[in-house]
Structure 1
Amino acid sequence: MKKTIVLYPGVGVGHLVPMVEVAKLFLKHGVAVIVALGDPGVESTDFSAAVARAKASNPSVHFHVLPPPPPVPVDSSDSQVASTKHHVTRIFQFLTAMNGPLRDFLRSLPSVDALILDMFCVDAQDVAFELKLPVYYFYASGAAALAIFLNLPSMVAGNSARMKELGDSVITFPGVPPFKASDLPNEVTSDGEALPAIVGMFDRMPRADGILINSFDSLEPRAVRALRDGLCVPGRATPPVYCIGPLVSAGGGGKEHECTTWLDAQPDKSVVFLSFGSMGTFSAKQLVEIAVGLEKSGERFLWVVRSPRSPDFTYGDALPEPDLDALLPEGFLERTKDRGFVVKSWAPQVEVLRHRATGAFVTHCGWNSTLEGVTAGLPLLCWPLYAEQRVNKVQIVEEMVLGVEMRGYNEEVVKAEEVEEKVRWVMASEGGRALRERAAAAKDGAAEALKEGGPSHLAFLQFLHNLDTPTLQQD
């Protein structure tokens, strides 16, 4: 009988997009799959738009939008629900409240063989245990980040202030290069309200039946080995780990964007692409510094510009369309029109990265973007902004040796001189040429991992085999 798997990606564009790729992988192997979604209107307009794009681009994938959870009573004694400010805590609260609708949906199905969760959906493990379903995680970031964060519960060990006390000290974990504690996400290095929820997430994750990772063995060999050897969950068993990536969108399927038409007229490998993800924004001051650096570099560029966030911005709010004339230096667009193209808010990133004219990628180091750059064979100029992106930057620069960092990303602004220098370096220097050669080799490694008989292909087959004999974990 055909298996049925339910995927539950929670909220967030960066978590939905790779989960859709997992759904397509299941379909390719003859497994029925349903992507269950929390009501996208509740938390994020960006997420709602991403859901609409995913449905339109993937007609073979079945999406089911769960009804919203019951409202929290006004007289609730849980004052924290009403007073919480941090968007990460609100996400956890929303997803915990979605347990009821998820439970009802799973019970309504004729059969379900497993539930696969995004890491933020950790409380849905309770639903899986109640219904006696095997439960797995799809970890949408890399093996190195997972190796680090699985250590987090033992690091904190009831003393949340300890993380704040680390400051800029260098810390070490199995499978990853040493790095500064300040490269951890801000939510981890403070003792604010988000930290207990994050610690709880990684404390519960090893109790699942397995973890699927969007990476591949040759990209992160040390981290993968540390995870498989059980070195990242001190004092406890680590569930099976399956590297099944790189899972990235194939792109295409829509109307051709004007920026790709512009790329068609550029020489091969001549354009630097700058894009900073679905949540990446800069101050007006930083946008000016980027513009000045690009202009002085003399190199061709394609730049996605989003409006700066206002002081009262709330997570999930839609940003207005940027006023380029107001945000960029006077005359910039006119002076650079023969070698530059500025896109408002969004560009078809996969198509741009894989275009023959694109030669380098300035990225925020979100894992989806990182893998899209790797599979396109591009060197990465690393400008991390939030979440685990600084950790990813360490891995990209020091372990994979596929990129260099934009100095000053932790300061008020990255200076125009740094933008100019790094763009010129990656496009015109011997060091940049060597980086491009390494990037080309990593692209080949990605293709090798996914082909029939490759390590990621075999890992997914092993996962499907193990679905027949899961060891149901218990809290």
Structure 2
Amino acid sequence: MKKAELVFIPTPGISHLLSTVEVAKLLVDRDERLSITFLIMKLRPDPKIERFINSVSTSCNRIRFIDLPQDEPDPNQPNMLFFSLIEAQKHHVKDEVSKLVCQSESSPDSPTLSGFVLDMFCTPMIDVANEFGVPSYIFLTSGAASLGLQFYVQALHDEQKVDPTEFKGSDAELVMPCLANPLPAKLLPSPMLNKERMPFFLGLARRFRETKGIIINTFEELESHAIDSFSKGNTPPVYPVGPVLNLNRDGDRDEESDKRKDIKQWLDDQPLSSVVYLCFGSMGSFGVDQVKEIACGLEQSGHRFLWSLRKPPPEGKMGPPTPSDYTNPRDVLPEGFLDRTANIGKIIGWAPQTDILAHPSVRGFVSHCGWNSILESIWFGVPIAAWPLYAEQQFNAFMLIVELGFGVEIKMDYKSEFHSDGNENVISAGEIERGVRCLMELCDEKREKLKEMSGKSRKALEIGGSSFTWLGRFIQDLADHLP
């Protein structure tokens, strides 16, 4: 293969960007002929993303980043803002790729444009790739079963003429090739049950089928059933190359480093395997009523806890929610809670999650079941109590508990829509206490099973491991499809 350049287009937002950059690093480390240009879309300025990009640019000379101009979103489409932003960026992408092609043609040493690697939400860019005559690939930041679900629902709609939104509130169970167990329809991702958003998600799956391949952040040993379900040949090839985790500290700043030291010090002072860690991802937060119930449930459980408590974003703000840290958590916690739990608990805002999960004093993780968090919990062998919020997290919770048997449930069918105040669907302190106790008292057999999978997740990335081999196949297929 001659020198080849891939254009990566991630979705705006730090959680998708982190794993997409890690895949890019794997590719350039594996093959010196590859170089990668990221085209970065922005919903709004984000200092964390800026720091991360600067850090990676400094350390990886064959990965570079180009910021795309920021267009004003359409205020008439607040619910579809995210998707209209991506569609509106097509002409900016075309302009930047034209410059790359000109550069390549004017210099014989420059790499040849060889393809687009698109985030799962960036399918409009397939049109741009087609204009340049290069193949498109998808990078899926969720798991293989999640991809199977998208294909299943799309085929159900397009071929069997079933409207997925009719499953809303239904007790139906769905049998699909990517799962070994029937899925309760109430665990379908919210957008698939929403008449306004469902057409967009069906469109994603249709466009996935047009690509030359789908790179998935999973590994064969974890999702063998789902990965096998793609072998029938009616979908593009899939490449499970994970777990793709951001375990280093790209973009760390001094302030976060100080917080990290403080959290580590507190964990160091706790007994071995005694702490439950609660965190709901980069976009997870709760209203005051729910915060109080969590606090009471933790206190009643009697277990030591480290709780990443985030403040909901202001109402009316456009785009996906971005929680912030509380100036004073006492404002939302029950009176006297911090004093009564001072010896067993710690409230934090931003959380260095991989450091926390790696710490020997942490025994369990109450999580929103974002796919990155699930992969991190498996990597470090920490079982999860599932409390999904939005997107495909209810489905991920089902995968974790029913398909894999690696966790317990706080409430698997809990749903929280973006921009709600979080108070309409409050889980009681008693339910939270029960979930925390079940998690912390999880039987040795389940813990051992998770520990075994943790070892497999690490081996998958080693030379000769399953993900190492799949990454090699992707590079070979890329070479075979060079323009």
What SS does the corresponding residue of 2:165 show, helix, strand or coil? helix
Deviation at 1:383, TM superposition (A): 0.5
Deviation at 1:70, TM superposition (A): 6.0
Distance 2:461 2:175 in 1: 31
* 1:155-179 Cα deviation digits (max 9, x unpaired): 2229998222123221121121211
Aligned residue in 2 for 1:417: 430
Residues 1:59 and 2:62 aligned together:
no
User: In the alignment, is the contact (CA less than 8 A) between 2:81 and 2:318 conserved in 1?
Assistant: no
Give the residue type in structure 2 aligned to 1:468.
Answer: A
* 1:44-73 Cα deviation digits (max 9, x unpaired): 45x55234234325633434233326668x
Aligned match for 1:84, one of 77, 82, 94: 77
Distance 1:190 1:426 in 2: 33
1:31–1:93 CA distance, 2 compared to 1 (3 A): farther
Residues 1:99 and 2:106 aligned together:
no
User: In the alignment, is the contact (CA less than 8 A) between 2:71 and 2:85 conserved in 1?
Assistant: no
The answer for unaligned runs of 5 or more in structure 1 is 73-80, 231-236
1:164–1:123 CA distance, 2 compared to 1 (3 A): same
Aligned residue in 1 for 2:35: 33
Deviation at 1:348, TM superposition (A): 0.6
Residues 1:459 and 2:463 aligned together:
no
How big is the alpha-carbon RMSD for the aligned residues of Structure 1 and Structure 2?
A: 2.2
Distance 1:304 1:124 in 2: 36
Aligned match for 2:481, one of 467, 470, 473: 470
Distance 1:288 1:99 in 2: 45
* 1:290-323 Cα deviation digits (max 9, x unpaired): 1111111111111100013444343246545323
User: In the alignment, is the contact (CA less than 8 A) between 1:427 and 1:433 conserved in 2?
Assistant: no
User: In the alignment, is the contact (CA less than 8 A) between 2:282 and 2:323 conserved in 1?
Assistant: no
User: In the alignment, is the contact (CA less than 8 A) between 1:273 and 1:302 conserved in 2?
Assistant: yes
Aligned match for 1:208, one of 208, 211, 231: 211
Q: TM-score, normalised by structure 2?
A: 0.88
1:57–1:355 CA distance, 2 compared to 1 (3 A): farther
User: In the alignment, is the contact (CA less than 8 A) between 2:82 and 2:319 conserved in 1?
Assistant: no
Aligned residue in 1 for 2:389: 385
Distance 1:332 1:90 in 2: 39
Give the residue type in structure 2 aligned to 1:92.
Answer: F
Q: TM-score, normalised by structure 1?
A: 0.89
What SS does the corresponding residue of 1:121 show, helix, strand or coil? coil
User: After the TM superposition, which of the residue ranges 320-329 and 31-40 deviates more from structure 2?
Assistant: 31-40
Identity %: 33
Aligned match for 1:226, one of 206, 224, 229: 229
User: In the alignment, is the contact (CA less than 8 A) between 2:313 and 2:321 conserved in 1?
Assistant: no
Give the residue type in structure 2 aligned to 1:332.
Answer: F
Query: Where in structure 2 are the equivalents of 1:419-434 lying within 5 Å?
Result: 419-428=432-441, 431-434=442-445
Aligned match for 1:450, one of 446, 461, 465: 461
Query: Where in structure 2 are the equivalents of 1:69-468 lying within 5 Å?
Result: 83-86=76-79, 89-109=80-100, 110=104, 111-157=112-158, 162-167=163-168, 168=170, 169-176=172-179, 177-192=181-196, 194-230=197-233, 237-252=234-249, 254=252, 255-256=257-258, 257=260, 258-316=262-320, 318-322=322-326, 323-344=328-349, 346-407=350-411, 409-410=414-415, 412-428=425-441, 431-468=442-479
Deviation at 1:259, TM superposition (A): 1.1
Matched residues, number = 449
1:5–1:57 CA distance, 2 compared to 1 (3 A): closer
1:238–1:69 CA distance, 2 compared to 1 (3 A): same
User: In the alignment, is the contact (CA less than 8 A) between 1:397 and 1:404 conserved in 2?
Assistant: yes
Distance 2:294 2:315 in 1: 22
User: In the alignment, is the contact (CA less than 8 A) between 1:9 and 1:35 conserved in 2?
Assistant: no
1:328–1:32 CA distance, 2 compared to 1 (3 A): same
1:418–1:70 CA distance, 2 compared to 1 (3 A): closer
